[in-house]
Amino acid sequence: MPGWIEEILYDLGAAWAIARKDMKIYYLKPSILVSSLLFPFVMFLAFAIGRDTTPEILLPGLLAITLLFSATSIGPVSIPIERRTKTFDRLLSAPISVRAIVLGASLSGAIFASAIGIVATAVGLIVLRIGIIHIVAFCAGIGLTSICFSTMGTLFASYRTENVGEVMSLLNLVRLPLLFISGVFIPIASMPAWGLSIARFSPLTYAHDLIRFAFDETTLFGPVTDVAVLVLTLIIFQVAGALLYQRSRE
Amino acid sequence: MDAIEVIGLTKRFGDTVAVNGINFSVKEGETFGFLGPNGAGKTTTIRMLTGMTRITSGRALIHGHDIVSDTRAAKQLMGIVAEISNVYDELSAWDNVVFAGRLYHLKRVDIQRNARDLLETFELYERRHDLAGSFSKGMKRRLTLAMGLVNRPKVLFLDEPTSGLDVQSRRIIRDVIQDLARKNVTVFLTTHDIEEANVTCDRVAIINRGVIAGIDAPEKLKQTIESLQSVEVSFDAVRPGVVEVLRALPQASGITKEGDKFRIYTADPPEILASLCALAQEQNLRPISITTRGPSLEEVFVRLTGLSIDTAKEEGETDAGLD
């Protein structure tokens, strides 16, 4: 087997080990599960009550918010904690690449966010009585959005601090504006030209567009563009994450 | 081939030079102590040797593998036990060891076997399903060591392995270190406990302000500082003015009184013994015990670093060792 394939397999194995460890320690806790499952329903109440929105518009928006917050909720918390307890050093001293550490930390968040998204979708489909038209687009939307934003969370956690609050504050500076410029609260079609220009730079715009396409075939950019942008964003986040964690070894 | 070879290793943090071009090598199967006061560069050196901190200049080789250019191969040969017991409190003892094994890409069957053997060795097997968070400090330390040994390393880095532990944990850890030496595993340990280094290590290096102040076998290191050799004498009765009389001995470089004993420092113990006997007869002093002493490793440490050992210990306890 060529050395580079062996190296990739090695890193994937390590990333999977880190993801399993994170799932066990941080995600599969009753309090985390309950609050994460309740999140989309609280959002539903905040979103739907008193607004005349069709289910086909409502559910993709809810899913996009749910995936964004579920994927970025634990990674930026767990890594500063592990820095404080020095368990993060265990990863840095192991014979694995920084890429494997970033991928592993992101993978656990992505699996968790996808699971929450699927449960929220299942309940949404029953309650709102709608269906999924493009199951492949739906799966791609859930999976790519989850891993993309989970990696974004891991990227923010590369800021070398043991203080969770510092990372979360920085993350919220990006996370909250994303909601308003990505067509989740305000439909992109009704935005002014400058709003649309800004929306094009948000990966959440494409995530929302792809998920909406899965439900009612409405799309601004087309599913292929949505997938391409999300994959590109994921690669940029992963590479940037690896570089920043490498630098933090200083 | 040396197990560890360090050539001109340097680490700078901005304008501060934490480690300044140090050179040493550690032979296979050797237990090597790395001593120094806090802030001397011990932990920075360990972090560079284990690939956790970038090297500013110089090289570090682990069994010939460069830690910078051949990182994975070098790290595969190492076990690392950090100063702080960095176990996952929310995982069981078993899951902690298994996770450590997975990071080394070991086969499932090997991980399971090693985990069982190590937890038995460290007397944790009965508690393997308990969360590490419920363990005492000593048990966590033993678990950290078990995790560091899961890949059956050829070189083990131990940062303050027995600091502040209970008697049982200290005993188990010391037994394991001795057993590793018998199995030809190289052990690189940092410690504030000079006596531990004295009895455990084949050789010690003393680092101070980022440079190696001395490196040799503990006994040889003691011999290099001749002025710290001494003769300890006790008389049947202590008379006023004895200190001054003893200080007047031509070979004496210093004198201290410790309880009912006088310690006379000299570069020439046999010569001063003769003078001492003559002086005792002349002054009508009756010696009840006379002992010649070499310097303790602690005294060598103090002489080479210019610090008192207590100061070093206190600094180590109040700072997690970010030196």
pTM above 0.90, yes or no: no
Q: Using pLDDT thresholds of 50, 70 and 90, give the confidence band for residue A250.
A: low
CB-based contacts of A68: which residues, under 8 Å, 6+ apart? A145, A149, A175, A178, A179, A204, A207
Each domain of chain A, given as residue ranges in start order, spans 3-249
* B287 vs B289: CA distance, rounded Å: 6
Indicate the residue of A7, A14, A93 with minimum beta-carbon distance to B51: A93
The mean pLDDT value for B73-83 works out to 93
Nearest chain B residue (CA) to A247: B54
CB-neighbour burial class of residue B68 (10 A; exposed 0-12, middle 13-18, buried 19+):
middle
User: What size, in residues, is chain B?
Assistant: 323
Cβ B207 vs Cβ B215: under 8 Å: no
Complex ipTM, two decimals? Answer: 0.89
Question: According to the model, what pLDDT value does residue B314 have?
Answer: 47
Q: Which of B16, B102, B322 to mutate to test the interface with A (most CBs of A within 10 A)?
A: B102
B230-235 and B261-266: which strand pairing? antiparallel
Partner residues linked to B190 by β-bridges: B34, B159
Sign of CA dihedral B265, B267, B269, B274: negative
- Strands of B27-64 (E only): list them: 31-35, 57-62
**Are B88 and A21 a contacting pair at CB < 8 A?**
yes
Indicate the residue of A13, A87, A95 with minimum beta-carbon distance to B75: A95
pLDDT at residue A81 is higher than 80: yes
- pLDDT, greater one: B31 or B174: B31
Question: Residues of A numbered 3-22 whose beta carbons fall under 8 angstroms of chain B's beta carbons: which are they?
Answer: 7, 10, 13-14, 17, 21
**Are B80 and A93 a contacting pair at CB < 8 A?**
yes
Indicate the residue of A7, A89, A97 with minimum beta-carbon distance to B82: A89
Would you state the torsion angle of the CA atoms of residues A189, A192, A194, A197, taken in this order, to the nearest 10 degrees? 0
Q: How far is A226 from chain B (nearest CA, A)?
A: 35
- DSSP code for B239: P
Question: According to the model, what pLDDT value does residue B227 have?
Answer: 64
The token duo for A138 is 């739906």
Cα–Cα nearest to B103, from B111, B115, B112:
B111
Nearest chain B residue (CA) to A89: B52
Q: Which of B19, B98, B103 to mutate to test the interface with A (most CBs of A within 10 A)?
A: B103
Q: Per residue in B41-58, pLDDT tens? A: 888 999 999 999 999 999
Question: According to the model, what pLDDT value does residue A88 have?
Answer: 93
- pLDDT, greater one: A20 or A4: A20
Q: How far is B71 from chain A (nearest CA, A)?
A: 7
Cα–Cα nearest to B151, from A146, A8, A95:
A95
pLDDT at residue B73 is higher than 70: yes
Q: How far is A244 from chain B (nearest CA, A)?
A: 14
The mean pLDDT value for B224-244 works out to 80
**Are B76 and A10 a contacting pair at CB < 8 A?**
no
Chain B residues with CB under 8 Å of a chain A CB are: 13, 50-54, 71-73, 75-76, 78, 80, 82, 84, 86-91, 95, 99-100, 102-105, 147
**Are A95 and B102 a contacting pair at CB < 8 A?**
no
Question: According to the model, what pLDDT value does residue B315 have?
Answer: 47
Mean pLDDT score of chain B, rounded to an integer? 87
Q: Per residue in A120-153, pLDDT tens? A: 999 999 988 899 999 999 999 999 999 999 999 9
Which residues on A lie below 8 Å from B95 (Cβ)? 21, 24
pLDDT at residue B190 is higher than 60: yes
Write out the DSSP string of A96-113.
Answer: S-HHHHHHHHHHHHHHHH
Q: Using pLDDT thresholds of 50, 70 and 90, give the confidence band for residue B225.
A: low
Put simply, whether A249 touches B (Cβ < 8 Å) is yes
Looking at chain A, the whole-number percentage of residues with pLDDT higher than 70 is 99
The token duo for B195 is 């006596």
Q: ∠ CA(A32), CA(A33), CA(A35), 5° rounding?
A: 65
Nearest chain A residue (CA) to B83: A86
Nearest chain A residue (CA) to B84: A86
